[in-house]
Amino acid sequence: MIRALRREDREVFLSLSEQFYASEAVHAPVPKVFHEDAFEEIVNGSPYAAGYILEADGKPVGIALTATTYSRESGGKVLWLEELYILQEYRSRGLGREFFAFAEELARRGGYARLRLEVEEGNVRARSLYERLGYETLGYRQMIKQLRG
């Protein structure tokens, strides 16, 4: 089951978020305050960010975050699949595939033109899933200039 993040999910969200950022799935960890700020942004109704809890066996076993942008190149709004983290013991049970179906339906209902995500080059398992679901590699090199942190 996938449901929207709620205020009472704070400790679960922070724990799973910190586990995700300590994993090989991300480039580098982020400061604890970034996890806390993301939670507050989401539960306070941000128009740019949304968060979800993935449940199995009656308990939270994963989190997912999305973000909204606009891209002329894409022809409209883009739903960024910012993060998807599922506890190790619950992987390969179809939860990732379930989240992607959920996100696609969310995007269709919201009039989004594109879904987009990032994946670490070495995260072969995730890349394989994304390719099976129809995602293509972009030829762009991403660049950033960090202004906070």
Range of the domain at 70: 2-132
Long-range contacts of 127-131 (CB under 8 A, 24+ apart): 129/96, 129/97
Flag whether 139 is in a domain.
no
Q: Which of the two residues, 149 and 45, has the higher pLDDT score?
A: 45
User: Could you tell me the pTM of the whole model?
Assistant: 0.90
Q: What is the mean pLDDT of residues 17-29?
A: 88
Q: Indicate the DSSP class of residue 90.
A: G
Flag whether 113 is in a domain.
yes
- Give the pLDDT of residue 120: 87
Closest CA to 4 of 65, 56, 61: 65
Flag whether 122 is in a domain.
yes
How many domains does the structure of the chain reveal? 1
Flag whether 143 is in a domain.
no
Is the four-CA dihedral 24, 71, 101, 4 of positive or negative sign?
Answer: positive
Residue 32 has pLDDT above 80, yes or no: yes
- Band (pLDDT 50/70/90 cuts) for residue 135 is very high
CATH number at residue 24: 3.40.630.30
